[in-house]
Chains A and B, each alone.
Chain A
Amino acid sequence: MQFPQFHSRRAAAGAVVATATCLFAALPAQAAEHVLVQKGKAFSVKKLQVKVGDTVKFVNEDPFAHNVFSLSDAKSFDLGSFGQGGSKTITFDKPGTIEVECAVHPDMRMVIEVGK
Protein backbone atom coordinates (compact mmCIF):
# COMPACT_ATOMS: atom_id res chain seq x y z
CA MET A 1 0.00 0.00 0.00
CA GLN A 2 1.46 3.33 -1.02
CA PHE A 3 0.84 6.26 1.28
CA PRO A 4 1.29 9.86 0.32
CA GLN A 5 4.10 11.61 2.12
CA PHE A 6 1.70 12.87 4.72
CA HIS A 7 -2.00 12.92 5.20
CA SER A 8 -4.50 13.27 7.97
CA ARG A 9 -8.21 12.84 8.17
CA ARG A 10 -10.58 14.02 10.81
CA ALA A 11 -13.47 11.68 11.47
CA ALA A 12 -16.07 14.28 12.32
CA ALA A 13 -19.54 13.50 11.11
CA GLY A 14 -20.04 14.81 7.64
CA ALA A 15 -16.41 15.75 7.16
CA VAL A 16 -14.96 15.20 3.75
CA VAL A 17 -12.26 12.59 3.89
CA ALA A 18 -9.72 13.09 1.16
CA THR A 19 -8.26 9.62 1.25
CA ALA A 20 -9.60 6.38 2.53
CA THR A 21 -6.94 3.94 3.56
CA CYS A 22 -8.11 2.98 7.05
CA LEU A 23 -11.27 2.40 9.03
CA PHE A 24 -12.29 4.91 11.66
CA ALA A 25 -15.31 3.31 13.23
CA ALA A 26 -13.46 2.52 16.44
CA LEU A 27 -12.06 5.99 16.88
CA PRO A 28 -13.78 8.52 19.10
CA ALA A 29 -15.58 11.36 17.47
CA GLN A 30 -13.30 14.15 16.26
CA ALA A 31 -10.24 11.92 16.42
CA ALA A 32 -8.07 11.86 13.34
CA GLU A 33 -5.39 9.58 12.09
CA HIS A 34 -2.26 11.16 10.71
CA VAL A 35 0.15 9.14 8.64
CA LEU A 36 3.85 9.92 8.68
CA VAL A 37 6.27 8.21 6.36
CA GLN A 38 9.86 7.31 7.16
CA LYS A 39 11.75 7.39 3.92
CA GLY A 40 15.28 8.32 2.93
CA LYS A 41 16.24 8.33 6.61
CA ALA A 42 13.84 11.20 7.31
CA PHE A 43 10.35 11.74 8.64
CA SER A 44 8.05 13.08 5.95
CA VAL A 45 7.42 16.23 7.98
CA LYS A 46 9.54 18.01 10.56
CA LYS A 47 6.57 19.32 12.53
CA LEU A 48 3.02 18.07 12.94
CA GLN A 49 0.11 19.57 14.81
CA VAL A 50 -2.53 17.18 16.14
CA LYS A 51 -5.31 17.29 18.71
CA VAL A 52 -5.74 15.29 21.89
CA GLY A 53 -7.15 11.89 20.96
CA ASP A 54 -5.62 11.84 17.49
CA THR A 55 -3.44 8.97 16.40
CA VAL A 56 -0.29 9.07 14.36
CA LYS A 57 0.73 6.14 12.22
CA PHE A 58 4.40 5.84 11.28
CA VAL A 59 5.07 3.86 8.11
CA ASN A 60 8.56 2.67 7.17
CA GLU A 61 9.15 2.91 3.43
CA ASP A 62 12.91 2.45 3.61
CA PRO A 63 14.52 -0.92 2.85
CA PHE A 64 15.93 -1.05 6.37
CA ALA A 65 14.65 -0.88 9.93
CA HIS A 66 13.48 2.26 11.67
CA ASN A 67 12.24 3.01 15.16
CA VAL A 68 10.03 5.63 16.75
CA PHE A 69 10.48 6.86 20.29
CA SER A 70 10.23 9.89 22.50
CA LEU A 71 11.60 10.70 25.92
CA SER A 72 9.61 13.92 26.15
CA ASP A 73 7.92 14.85 29.40
CA ALA A 74 4.59 15.21 27.61
CA LYS A 75 4.73 11.61 26.40
CA SER A 76 7.45 9.02 26.68
CA PHE A 77 7.21 5.94 24.49
CA ASP A 78 9.17 3.46 22.41
CA LEU A 79 7.29 1.90 19.52
CA GLY A 80 10.18 -0.44 18.82
CA SER A 81 11.93 -1.11 15.54
CA PHE A 82 10.24 -2.29 12.40
CA GLY A 83 11.32 -3.09 8.87
CA GLN A 84 10.25 -2.01 5.41
CA GLY A 85 6.50 -1.88 5.02
CA GLY A 86 5.97 -2.08 8.75
CA SER A 87 4.07 0.53 10.71
CA LYS A 88 3.37 1.57 14.29
CA THR A 89 0.54 3.69 15.62
CA ILE A 90 0.27 5.76 18.77
CA THR A 91 -2.50 7.87 20.28
CA PHE A 92 -1.74 11.19 21.92
CA ASP A 93 -3.93 11.56 24.97
CA LYS A 94 -2.78 14.85 26.47
CA PRO A 95 -1.51 18.16 25.17
CA GLY A 96 2.15 19.01 24.92
CA THR A 97 5.22 19.09 22.73
CA ILE A 98 6.67 15.70 21.84
CA GLU A 99 10.10 15.37 20.28
CA VAL A 100 10.04 12.23 18.19
CA GLU A 101 13.19 10.43 17.10
CA CYS A 102 14.31 7.27 15.40
CA ALA A 103 16.54 5.41 17.83
CA VAL A 104 18.35 3.72 14.99
CA HIS A 105 19.17 6.93 13.16
CA PRO A 106 19.77 9.88 15.51
CA ASP A 107 19.63 12.34 12.62
CA MET A 108 15.92 11.52 12.16
CA ARG A 109 13.90 13.88 14.31
CA MET A 110 10.55 15.64 14.22
CA VAL A 111 8.17 17.39 16.62
CA ILE A 112 4.51 16.72 17.31
CA GLU A 113 2.48 19.48 18.90
CA VAL A 114 -0.57 18.09 20.63
CA GLY A 115 -3.25 20.72 21.16
CA LYS A 116 -6.56 20.57 23.00
Chain B
Amino acid sequence: MSWMRPWALALCLSTLGWGAAEAVDDPQMATPQDRQWLLPDLPPHPDDNVPSAARVELGKMLFFDARLSSERNLSCAGCHSPLYGWSDGLGTAKGFRSKVLGRASPTIVNAGYNTIQMWDGRRATLEHQAMGPMESMDEMAMNLDALFAWLAVNPAYRAAFAAAYPGEPIDKTTTSKAIAAFERTVVSNDSPFDRWLRGDRLAMTASQVKGFRLFTDPNKGNCAGCHQAPNFTDNGFHNIGLASYGQENPDVGRFAIKPVPSLKGAFKTPTLRDVALTAPYFHDGSATTLLEVVAHYNRGGAVRTNVSASVKPLSLSNDEMRDIVSFMEALTTPARPFTLPRLPAN
Protein backbone atom coordinates (compact mmCIF):
# COMPACT_ATOMS: atom_id res chain seq x y z
CA MET B 1 0.00 0.00 0.00
CA SER B 2 2.99 2.30 -0.18
CA TRP B 3 1.47 3.83 -3.30
CA MET B 4 -1.52 5.12 -1.33
CA ARG B 5 -1.28 8.24 0.81
CA PRO B 6 -2.65 7.86 4.36
CA TRP B 7 -5.50 10.29 3.80
CA ALA B 8 -6.53 8.48 0.63
CA LEU B 9 -6.61 5.26 2.58
CA ALA B 10 -8.73 6.98 5.20
CA LEU B 11 -11.21 8.05 2.53
CA CYS B 12 -11.36 4.54 1.11
CA LEU B 13 -11.97 3.12 4.56
CA SER B 14 -14.61 5.76 5.10
CA THR B 15 -16.53 4.57 2.07
CA LEU B 16 -16.42 1.09 3.53
CA GLY B 17 -17.98 2.31 6.74
CA TRP B 18 -14.80 2.87 8.69
CA GLY B 19 -15.96 6.35 9.57
CA ALA B 20 -13.70 6.85 12.55
CA ALA B 21 -10.68 7.08 10.29
CA GLU B 22 -12.31 9.58 7.95
CA ALA B 23 -9.98 12.21 6.60
CA VAL B 24 -8.06 12.55 9.83
CA ASP B 25 -4.76 12.87 8.05
CA ASP B 26 -5.99 14.54 4.88
CA PRO B 27 -3.92 17.72 4.62
CA GLN B 28 -6.29 19.06 1.98
CA MET B 29 -9.35 18.86 4.23
CA ALA B 30 -10.62 21.54 6.61
CA THR B 31 -10.65 20.50 10.25
CA PRO B 32 -13.47 21.15 12.70
CA GLN B 33 -11.25 23.83 14.24
CA ASP B 34 -11.00 25.56 10.86
CA ARG B 35 -14.75 26.07 10.77
CA GLN B 36 -14.42 28.93 13.26
CA TRP B 37 -13.73 30.96 10.10
CA LEU B 38 -17.25 30.43 8.74
CA LEU B 39 -19.21 33.65 8.87
CA PRO B 40 -22.83 33.87 9.98
CA ASP B 41 -25.09 34.19 6.94
CA LEU B 42 -26.00 37.77 7.82
CA PRO B 43 -24.28 40.43 9.90
CA PRO B 44 -25.87 41.40 13.21
CA HIS B 45 -28.04 44.51 13.27
CA PRO B 46 -29.19 46.88 16.01
CA ASP B 47 -32.57 46.24 17.57
CA ASP B 48 -33.85 49.58 16.31
CA ASN B 49 -32.87 48.95 12.71
CA VAL B 50 -34.16 45.53 11.78
CA PRO B 51 -33.51 45.09 8.07
CA SER B 52 -36.40 45.02 5.63
CA ALA B 53 -36.64 45.14 1.84
CA ALA B 54 -37.88 48.73 2.00
CA ARG B 55 -35.00 49.83 4.23
CA VAL B 56 -32.38 48.12 2.11
CA GLU B 57 -33.81 49.55 -1.10
CA LEU B 58 -33.94 53.07 0.34
CA GLY B 59 -30.41 52.69 1.60
CA LYS B 60 -29.23 51.55 -1.81
CA MET B 61 -30.81 54.61 -3.43
CA LEU B 62 -29.14 56.93 -0.96
CA PHE B 63 -25.81 55.11 -1.27
CA PHE B 64 -25.67 55.59 -5.03
CA ASP B 65 -27.18 59.07 -5.20
CA ALA B 66 -24.57 61.77 -5.87
CA ARG B 67 -27.14 64.42 -4.97
CA LEU B 68 -26.24 63.72 -1.36
CA SER B 69 -23.09 65.79 -1.98
CA SER B 70 -22.90 69.57 -2.22
CA GLU B 71 -21.90 69.59 -5.88
CA ARG B 72 -24.17 66.64 -6.66
CA ASN B 73 -21.31 64.65 -8.11
CA LEU B 74 -20.05 62.42 -5.31
CA SER B 75 -21.99 59.53 -3.82
CA CYS B 76 -21.03 56.99 -1.16
CA ALA B 77 -20.47 54.63 -4.07
CA GLY B 78 -17.93 57.03 -5.51
CA CYS B 79 -15.42 55.79 -2.94
CA HIS B 80 -17.07 52.46 -2.19
CA SER B 81 -17.84 51.15 -5.65
CA PRO B 82 -18.89 47.58 -6.45
CA LEU B 83 -16.64 47.92 -9.49
CA TYR B 84 -13.59 47.99 -7.19
CA GLY B 85 -14.48 45.56 -4.44
CA TRP B 86 -16.59 48.28 -2.78
CA SER B 87 -13.53 50.52 -2.55
CA ASP B 88 -12.14 52.85 -5.22
CA GLY B 89 -8.90 51.41 -6.56
CA LEU B 90 -7.00 54.50 -5.42
CA GLY B 91 -4.04 54.68 -3.08
CA THR B 92 -5.86 57.20 -0.95
CA ALA B 93 -9.34 58.55 -1.53
CA LYS B 94 -10.29 61.63 -3.48
CA GLY B 95 -12.94 63.82 -1.93
CA PHE B 96 -14.45 67.23 -2.50
CA ARG B 97 -13.26 68.62 -5.86
CA SER B 98 -10.90 65.68 -6.13
CA LYS B 99 -8.93 66.67 -3.06
CA VAL B 100 -6.53 63.85 -2.28
CA LEU B 101 -7.29 62.58 1.21
CA GLY B 102 -4.90 60.97 3.63
CA ARG B 103 -6.26 57.47 3.83
CA ALA B 104 -7.47 54.74 1.53
CA SER B 105 -11.20 54.14 1.15
CA PRO B 106 -11.89 51.00 3.19
CA THR B 107 -14.07 48.42 1.54
CA ILE B 108 -17.56 48.07 2.93
CA VAL B 109 -17.51 44.33 2.22
CA ASN B 110 -18.51 42.60 5.46
CA ALA B 111 -18.33 45.90 7.37
CA GLY B 112 -21.56 44.83 9.04
CA TYR B 113 -19.68 42.11 10.90
CA ASN B 114 -17.21 44.57 12.41
CA THR B 115 -17.63 45.89 15.94
CA ILE B 116 -15.91 49.18 15.17
CA GLN B 117 -15.77 51.24 12.00
CA MET B 118 -13.25 53.35 10.05
CA TRP B 119 -9.46 53.17 10.01
CA ASP B 120 -9.22 54.97 13.35
CA GLY B 121 -12.33 53.48 14.93
CA ARG B 122 -13.97 56.84 15.46
CA ARG B 123 -17.40 55.37 14.79
CA ALA B 124 -18.75 52.26 16.48
CA THR B 125 -21.48 51.24 14.07
CA LEU B 126 -22.49 51.65 10.45
CA GLU B 127 -25.34 53.86 11.61
CA HIS B 128 -22.90 56.15 13.38
CA GLN B 129 -20.57 56.24 10.40
CA ALA B 130 -23.03 56.81 7.56
CA MET B 131 -23.42 60.59 7.81
CA GLY B 132 -19.72 61.28 8.35
CA PRO B 133 -18.67 61.68 4.71
CA MET B 134 -21.68 63.90 3.95
CA GLU B 135 -20.79 66.18 6.85
CA SER B 136 -17.07 66.31 6.09
CA MET B 137 -16.04 69.38 4.13
CA ASP B 138 -13.23 67.30 2.64
CA GLU B 139 -15.61 64.74 1.25
CA MET B 140 -19.21 65.17 0.20
CA ALA B 141 -19.42 68.57 1.95
CA MET B 142 -23.19 68.50 2.10
CA ASN B 143 -25.48 71.00 3.77
CA LEU B 144 -27.68 68.56 5.67
CA ASP B 145 -30.54 70.99 6.15
CA ALA B 146 -30.72 71.43 2.39
CA LEU B 147 -30.44 67.68 1.88
CA PHE B 148 -33.31 66.77 4.18
CA ALA B 149 -35.46 69.59 2.78
CA TRP B 150 -34.94 68.19 -0.71
CA LEU B 151 -35.56 64.57 0.32
CA ALA B 152 -38.76 65.63 2.05
CA VAL B 153 -40.24 67.21 -1.05
CA ASN B 154 -39.10 64.59 -3.50
CA PRO B 155 -42.13 62.33 -3.99
CA ALA B 156 -40.20 59.13 -4.59
CA TYR B 157 -37.86 59.61 -1.65
CA ARG B 158 -40.74 60.67 0.58
CA ALA B 159 -42.58 57.47 -0.29
CA ALA B 160 -39.44 55.36 0.18
CA PHE B 161 -38.79 56.82 3.64
CA ALA B 162 -42.43 56.32 4.60
CA ALA B 163 -42.26 52.68 3.56
CA ALA B 164 -38.96 52.07 5.32
CA TYR B 165 -39.49 54.05 8.51
CA PRO B 166 -43.21 54.80 8.76
CA GLY B 167 -44.07 57.69 11.03
CA GLU B 168 -40.45 58.76 11.42
CA PRO B 169 -38.97 61.98 10.09
CA ILE B 170 -36.55 62.20 7.19
CA ASP B 171 -33.43 63.12 9.10
CA LYS B 172 -29.95 61.97 10.03
CA THR B 173 -31.28 59.06 12.01
CA THR B 174 -33.41 57.48 9.30
CA THR B 175 -30.97 58.34 6.52
CA SER B 176 -28.05 56.72 8.32
CA LYS B 177 -30.16 53.72 9.30
CA ALA B 178 -31.19 53.11 5.70
CA ILE B 179 -27.62 53.36 4.41
CA ALA B 180 -26.44 51.02 7.15
CA ALA B 181 -29.21 48.53 6.31
CA PHE B 182 -28.02 48.49 2.71
CA GLU B 183 -24.36 48.16 3.66
CA ARG B 184 -25.16 45.09 5.73
CA THR B 185 -26.23 43.34 2.53
CA VAL B 186 -22.73 43.68 1.07
CA VAL B 187 -21.46 40.33 2.25
CA SER B 188 -18.68 38.07 1.06
CA ASN B 189 -19.05 34.58 2.50
CA ASP B 190 -19.06 32.20 -0.45
CA SER B 191 -15.44 32.26 -1.54
CA PRO B 192 -13.43 29.14 -2.39
CA PHE B 193 -12.17 29.34 1.20
CA ASP B 194 -15.76 29.27 2.52
CA ARG B 195 -16.65 26.34 0.30
CA TRP B 196 -13.51 24.56 1.49
CA LEU B 197 -14.51 25.18 5.10
CA ARG B 198 -17.91 23.70 4.35
CA GLY B 199 -16.31 20.46 3.19
CA ASP B 200 -15.40 20.88 -0.47
CA ARG B 201 -11.79 19.77 -0.14
CA LEU B 202 -10.98 20.73 -3.72
CA ALA B 203 -12.38 24.25 -3.49
CA MET B 204 -8.88 25.47 -2.65
CA THR B 205 -5.66 24.36 -4.28
CA ALA B 206 -2.90 22.67 -2.31
CA SER B 207 -0.96 25.94 -2.39
CA GLN B 208 -3.93 27.83 -0.98
CA VAL B 209 -4.43 25.32 1.81
CA LYS B 210 -0.75 25.54 2.63
CA GLY B 211 -1.05 29.32 2.56
CA PHE B 212 -3.91 29.13 5.04
CA ARG B 213 -1.81 27.00 7.38
CA LEU B 214 1.05 29.48 7.13
CA PHE B 215 -1.40 32.34 7.64
CA THR B 216 -2.66 30.91 10.92
CA ASP B 217 0.59 29.42 12.27
CA PRO B 218 1.86 31.69 15.08
CA ASN B 219 5.40 30.56 14.31
CA LYS B 220 5.20 31.27 10.57
CA GLY B 221 3.00 33.98 9.09
CA ASN B 222 1.07 34.70 12.30
CA CYS B 223 -1.28 36.75 10.12
CA ALA B 224 -4.27 35.44 12.05
CA GLY B 225 -2.92 37.08 15.17
CA CYS B 226 -4.62 40.23 13.89
CA HIS B 227 -6.64 39.03 10.90
CA GLN B 228 -8.71 36.79 13.14
CA ALA B 229 -11.67 34.53 12.50
CA PRO B 230 -14.21 34.76 11.14
CA ASN B 231 -14.00 38.11 9.31
CA PHE B 232 -10.21 38.33 9.18
CA THR B 233 -10.05 41.16 11.69
CA ASP B 234 -9.58 41.51 15.43
CA ASN B 235 -11.38 44.86 15.31
CA GLY B 236 -8.16 46.11 16.80
CA PHE B 237 -5.52 48.75 16.11
CA HIS B 238 -1.89 48.21 15.25
CA ASN B 239 1.10 50.22 14.10
CA ILE B 240 2.41 47.89 11.41
CA GLY B 241 5.63 49.76 10.70
CA LEU B 242 4.79 51.38 7.38
CA ALA B 243 7.40 53.65 5.81
CA SER B 244 4.95 56.56 5.93
CA TYR B 245 5.11 56.57 9.73
CA GLY B 246 8.77 57.53 9.47
CA GLN B 247 7.94 60.73 7.62
CA GLU B 248 7.58 64.14 9.21
CA ASN B 249 4.23 64.67 10.95
CA PRO B 250 2.90 61.21 10.16
CA ASP B 251 -0.73 60.21 10.38
CA VAL B 252 -1.10 59.10 14.01
CA GLY B 253 -4.28 57.11 13.30
CA ARG B 254 -6.08 55.80 16.36
CA PHE B 255 -4.04 58.02 18.69
CA ALA B 256 -6.03 61.03 17.51
CA ILE B 257 -9.17 59.34 18.82
CA LYS B 258 -7.69 57.63 21.87
CA PRO B 259 -4.62 59.54 23.11
CA VAL B 260 -2.68 56.57 24.38
CA PRO B 261 0.99 56.57 23.30
CA SER B 262 0.86 52.94 22.25
CA LEU B 263 -1.69 53.89 19.62
CA LYS B 264 0.46 56.36 17.71
CA GLY B 265 0.41 55.27 14.11
CA ALA B 266 -2.05 52.45 14.79
CA PHE B 267 -4.88 51.70 12.39
CA LYS B 268 -7.68 49.18 12.39
CA THR B 269 -7.08 45.71 11.05
CA PRO B 270 -9.06 45.51 7.79
CA THR B 271 -10.97 42.45 6.72
CA LEU B 272 -9.31 40.35 4.03
CA ARG B 273 -12.52 39.09 2.50
CA ASP B 274 -12.45 39.97 -1.22
CA VAL B 275 -9.02 41.48 -0.63
CA ALA B 276 -7.80 40.57 -4.12
CA LEU B 277 -10.33 43.11 -5.44
CA THR B 278 -9.26 46.07 -3.32
CA ALA B 279 -5.68 46.96 -4.27
CA PRO B 280 -3.75 49.03 -3.41
CA TYR B 281 -3.26 48.05 0.21
CA PHE B 282 -2.65 49.48 3.68
CA HIS B 283 -4.34 52.61 5.02
CA ASP B 284 -1.90 54.74 3.02
CA GLY B 285 -2.21 52.73 -0.19
CA SER B 286 1.52 52.12 -0.22
CA ALA B 287 1.46 48.49 -1.34
CA THR B 288 0.46 47.72 -4.89
CA THR B 289 0.13 43.95 -4.59
CA LEU B 290 -0.62 41.36 -1.94
CA LEU B 291 2.90 40.00 -2.36
CA GLU B 292 4.25 43.42 -1.38
CA VAL B 293 2.06 43.29 1.70
CA VAL B 294 3.37 39.90 2.77
CA ALA B 295 6.95 40.93 2.02
CA HIS B 296 6.47 43.97 4.27
CA TYR B 297 5.49 41.77 7.19
CA ASN B 298 8.22 39.27 6.39
CA ARG B 299 10.76 42.04 6.85
CA GLY B 300 9.18 42.98 10.18
CA GLY B 301 7.99 46.31 8.84
CA ALA B 302 9.92 49.28 7.53
CA VAL B 303 9.83 51.68 10.50
CA ARG B 304 10.17 50.22 13.99
CA THR B 305 9.08 53.33 15.91
CA ASN B 306 6.11 52.35 18.08
CA VAL B 307 5.56 49.27 15.96
CA SER B 308 3.25 46.56 17.27
CA ALA B 309 4.90 43.76 19.23
CA SER B 310 3.19 41.41 16.78
CA VAL B 311 5.17 42.78 13.83
CA LYS B 312 8.59 41.14 13.62
CA PRO B 313 10.69 39.43 10.96
CA LEU B 314 9.09 36.16 9.88
CA SER B 315 11.68 34.25 7.83
CA LEU B 316 9.10 33.13 5.28
CA SER B 317 10.54 31.76 2.07
CA ASN B 318 9.48 33.15 -1.29
CA ASP B 319 7.38 30.05 -1.91
CA GLU B 320 5.71 30.46 1.48
CA MET B 321 4.92 34.10 0.77
CA ARG B 322 3.40 33.10 -2.56
CA ASP B 323 1.32 30.44 -0.82
CA ILE B 324 -0.09 33.04 1.57
CA VAL B 325 -0.92 35.33 -1.34
CA SER B 326 -2.52 32.41 -3.13
CA PHE B 327 -4.64 31.78 -0.04
CA MET B 328 -5.77 35.40 0.12
CA GLU B 329 -6.81 35.14 -3.51
CA ALA B 330 -9.13 32.34 -2.42
CA LEU B 331 -11.09 34.79 -0.25
CA THR B 332 -12.99 36.30 -3.17
CA THR B 333 -16.67 35.49 -3.45
CA PRO B 334 -17.59 35.06 -7.12
CA ALA B 335 -19.35 38.04 -8.65
CA ARG B 336 -23.11 37.98 -8.35
CA PRO B 337 -25.58 40.04 -10.34
CA PHE B 338 -26.10 43.42 -8.72
CA THR B 339 -29.01 45.63 -9.65
CA LEU B 340 -28.34 49.33 -9.47
CA PRO B 341 -31.14 51.42 -8.02
CA ARG B 342 -33.31 53.63 -10.20
CA LEU B 343 -32.91 57.02 -8.58
CA PRO B 344 -35.80 59.42 -8.22
CA ALA B 345 -36.02 62.30 -10.65
CA ASN B 346 -35.12 65.75 -9.44
Binding site for B on A (CB under 8 A): 41, 63-65, 67, 69, 71, 78, 80-84, 86, 103-107
Contacts and interface: CB of A to CB of B under 8 A. Distances in A.
A63 B237 contact: no
B235 interface: yes
Contact of A105 (B218, B236, B259, B260): B236
Given A104-B238, A105-B236, A63 B218 contact: yes
A64 B226 contact: yes
Nearest to B255: A103
A103 B260 contact: yes
B115 A63 contact: no
Of all A-B residue pairs in the complex, the 8 with the closest CB atoms, nearest first, are A64-B225, A65-B309, A83-B309, A63-B218, A105-B236, A65-B310, A104-B236, A103-B260
Contact of B234 (A41, A80, A81, A83): A41
Interface of B: 115-116, 121, 218, 222, 225-226, 228, 234-238, 254, 258-263, 266, 308-310
Nearest to B268: A106
B310 A106 contact: no
A86 B309 CA distance: 10
17 contacts: A64-B226, A64-B234, A65-B225, A65-B308, A69-B262, A71-B258, A71-B260, A82-B309, A83-B309, A103-B237, A103-B266, A104-B237, A105-B236, A106-B121, A106-B235, A106-B237, A107-B115
B301 to A, nearest CB: 13
B261 to A, nearest CB: 5
Given A64-B310, A82-B309, A106 B236 contact: yes
Instruction: Tell me if B's interface is mostly helix, strand, loop or mixed.
Output: loop
A69 B259 CA distance: 10
Contacts, number: 61
A86 B235 CA distance: 22
Contacts of A107: 115, 235
Nearest to B237: A104
Nearest to B116: A106
Nearest to B238: A104
A105 B262 contact: no
A111 to B, nearest CB: 17
B288 to A, nearest CB: 27
B222 A63 contact: yes
A104 B238 CA distance: 6
A65 B228 CA distance: 13
A84 B254 CA distance: 23
